[in-house]
Structure 1
Amino acid sequence: MTGEGTVRLRPPNNRVNERAVGWWRAQWLVTTAVPVLVLGVLGALIGPARAWLLGAAGIVAVAGLACTVFFPFWWYRVHRWEVTDEAVYVRTGALWQEWRIAPMSRIQTVDTVRGPLEQAFRLATVTVTTASSKGAIRIEGLDHELAAELARQLTRITQATPGDAT
């Protein structure tokens, strides 16, 4: 129920880059491969626990592959972001969706990060640090050139916005 003067929150307009699906899949595969390899090596080396360790490796592999297929598509459908002259808006999450809004007057720093996997997919993450106890807002899965332009845009807007960012 909305009354007069009530502002309704709409989803942010922008999707992450479609290459983010591949990036998220690669992250899941790496995250799955490490414990599967450890369990497999231990299973090969420890005879009495071989069946248990190899069974656990198989369970982790199947669960990890299922997550690799399912979650990146879902995240792509859910993750949104938008920057206006007043604020940065981000919606993330798979099961628990989180909406974050950072007014321009509260922004303290803007950073871009490109890890090795992000570089391979030509992506970047923009991190907007505010005075919030909740922590920084991260816009992941952006084309690296768009991320650089977004950082420049946010820097210009925040410099022109009155406030003390506290």
Structure 2
Amino acid sequence: MSDEAVQAVRLRAPRHRVSRRAIGYWTVRAGLGWLVLLAAQIVALVLGWSWLRDWWTVTVPVTVLLAAVHLIVMPQWRYRVHRWEVTTEAVYTQAGWFNQERRIAPVSRIQTVDTDRGPFEQVFRLSNVTVTTASAAGPLRIDGLDRETADQLVEQLTADTQAERGDAT
């Protein structure tokens, strides 16, 4: 890709959303964190830590309320924000919920393309794609893609980067 073509690639909102199954995945993953906190509070009560007994009547309801709000709002919000797109010129990503990030990587700068599926992603039939460049900002990640889309995306990016004459730096 020529320097003029790289200049023509502009940061913009990507077109594609991640898989709707990502909503369930994000909910379960966050829910496990809330369960650990709630379990710790219950263990403290069962062990009879008297100095926590008075606080327990406040902390458990607050924990349950915050967890409910977080588990209802966060996954939906993330789903509306998380987007991706791949063109012959660039890879576009947008992610986050409180802190939102939009990134772009010209195809000529791509060094590696990887997929990963953790245990929970496998249950939800999701994959993550990581596009590594020489950028100091680090790799671009597209989380929450269905497996077929991720596999097709990796194939496409591999073909596009092999066809590119740039030096990926």
Match of 2:54 in 1: 51
Unmatched 5+ residue regions in structure 1?
none
Question: Post-superposition, which runs of at least 4 consecutive aligned residues in structure 1 deviate over 4 A?
Answer: 5-9
**What is the CA-CA distance between 1:21 and the residue it aligns to?**
0.7
2:102 alignment partner AA: W
1: CA distance, partners of 2:147 / 2:93: 18
Q: C-alpha separation between the residues in 2 aligned to 1:52 and 1:17?
A: 41
Q: Following superposition of structure 1 onto structure 2, how do residues 1-166 of structure 1 map, counting pairs within 5 Å?
A: 9-48=11-50, 49-53=52-56, 55-166=58-169
Distance in 1, matches of 2:8 and 2:105, equals 19
Unaligned runs of 5+ in 2: 1-6
Distance 2:143 2:156 in 1: 17
Structure possessing the higher relative contact order (Cα contacts under 8 Å, 6 or more residues apart):
2
Aligned-pair distance for 1:113?
0.8
- The separation in 2 between residues aligned to 1:65 and 1:91, in whole angstroms, is 26
SS of 2:74's equivalent in the other structure is: helix
User: Secondary structure of the equivalent of 1:96?
Assistant: coil
Q: Percent same amino acid at aligned positions?
A: 49
The offset of 1:127, in angstroms, is 0.8
Change (3 A) 1:66 1:142: same
What is the TM-score normalised by the length of structure 2?
0.87
Q: Cα distance 1:54–1:129, how it changes in 2: closer, same or farther (>3 A)?
A: farther
CA distance in 1, matches of 2:57, 2:165: 60
